Amino acid sequence: MRALQRLIQGRVLLLTICAAGIGGTFQFGYNLSIINAPTLHIQEFINETWWVRTGQPLPDHLVLLVWSLIVSLYPLGGLFGALLAGPLAVMLGRKKSLLVNNIFVVAAATLFGFSRRAGSFEMIVLGRLLVGVSAGLSMNVQPMYLGESAPKELRGAVAMTPAIFAALGIVIGQVVGLRELLGNPGAWPLLLASCLVPGVLQLASLPLLPESPRYLLIDRGDTEACLVALQRLRGSADVAAELEELEEERAACEGQRARRPWELFQDRGLRRQVTSLVVLASALELCGNDSVYAYASSVFREAGIPEGKVQYAVLGTGSCELLAACLSCVLIERVGRRLLLIGGYSLMTCWGSIFTAALCLQSFFTWMPYLAMSCIFAFILSFGIGPAGVTGILATELFDQKARPAAYMVGGALMWTLLFLVGLGFPFLKEGLSHFLYMPFLGVCVCGTIYTGFFLPETKGKTFLEISEELHRLNFSRQSQGPEWTGPEVILSTEL
């Protein structure tokens, strides 16, 4: 509660969180969600467009191919945006990168909005690629910006807010995509183009707020601008001690340049950090949460929910993730990062195992589909409490100022690549493994639990400099112990 009170007192920091989030991870969740609402309408539009051009219908398998292209271009665009995030964050700064990112949003919304009038499904394909680029860029720059702007005692809670905005985007997208609102046959271009609204809100609010103090001092060397930004972000609090801490961090980075992504793998001093980033970023995408969302509708139908009500049950899944993300934001500075990750992956393993058993036994017991439906909600809650938000903090806390942008590029590229591969391979897994579909995902959850428990250091309440020193000791633990004692030295000569 004390941390929450301090956050409220620092109104500018709270406004910065909202302005960065509404055009950042909110856009990711929103665009991920709204594309599912008009699926049939867009497929009909593709067929109608082809009929007008050629005078004959497009075969069903080609319609599905174009639709698959529309869906898969989102993670491909995200991959490009993640690779773009690091250089932009270094050249333009964190805040300006988020602002420039809205160029992609405006272009995509324009393409979506006029696609039906122009009779071009290619405009939807290109627009989908552009919103993917926007999501990939903002999902890397936003946590970097907020993590560098927050005081150390609030850093975990502030760094969790991207997960809250992503879940909020999913829920709002599910609501707006209801058939009673913009999910009907006549309004789907407006639904897709509605991503313009969050972008406009960010363009109107973010320029009024300060840049990351760490970027201003360490990257640009502007002490005066850093002091002004700190004073605005902290309100009435004394910033002398924090400025001194930043000066120490600046001295530690003196003479260094921004790292390139491949250099992270070559530096032995970053071995523990890079391994943790790769393992846990991979676990985030391979733990099965996205597949649970994809499988939810069929499970709800098997549980006897009427077809017209399934969309409301799906809305409940997004609400569960939002609730869990808010709960994690409150808990993270109390219980720490490691415990939330271990608990989240452990619970996901438990609920996923029960879910698999329920799928196998649903033909024998009438109440098994209801158990499977309950496991879906419990699985998503467990994901939201732990991996969904905590994983995004790793690149901020484990890497120093000069390596942080490159770390976000590596983590983002890995995340979007795996998201694309999972989406591509999920139908084949479903067909090949049937009810045992989630067994590979459960194995990933177990590996995430074990790695976090044995190898991930706790960073709660520590400064970036303290975290760097601890990781240096872990990476060079044998050298830090000094040379091994091998017995008394034998004196062979006394000649001077």
Q: What is the pLDDT of residue 10?
A: 61
Q: What is the pLDDT of residue 490?
A: 36
- Note whether 38 and 173 are within 8 A (CB): no
Q: What is the pLDDT of residue 202?
A: 95
Q: Is residue 252 classed as helix, strand or coil in its secondary structure?
A: helix
What's the distance, CA 330 to chain centroid?
Answer: 18
Q: Which residues of 227-243 are buried (b: 16+ CB within 10 A; e: fewer)?
A: bebbbbbbeeeebeebb
Question: Which run of H or E residues covers position 204?
Answer: helix 196-205
Q: What is the pLDDT of residue 179?
A: 80
- The rounded distance, in Å, linking the Cα atoms of 415 and 307 is 33
Q: Is residue 358 classed as helix, strand or coil in its secondary structure?
A: helix
Q: What is the pLDDT of residue 478?
A: 59
Q: What is the pLDDT of residue 423?
A: 74
What are the residue ranges in the chain where pLDDT is below 70?
1-10, 294-295, 302-304, 478-496
User: Residue 367: what are its φ and ψ, rounded to 5°?
Assistant: -90, -5
> In Å, how far are 40, 78, 220, 303, 310 from 307, measured between CA atoms?
15, 33, 57, 11, 5
Pick the closest to residue 352 from 428, 410, 289 (CA basis). 289
Q: Look-up: residue for tokens 């109104």?
A: 11
**pLDDT tens string 64-87:** 778 777 877 888 899 999 999 989
- The rounded distance, in Å, linking the Cα atoms of 344 and 348 is 6
What's the distance, CA 168 to chain centroid?
Answer: 13
- The rounded distance, in Å, linking the Cα atoms of 23 and 347 is 32
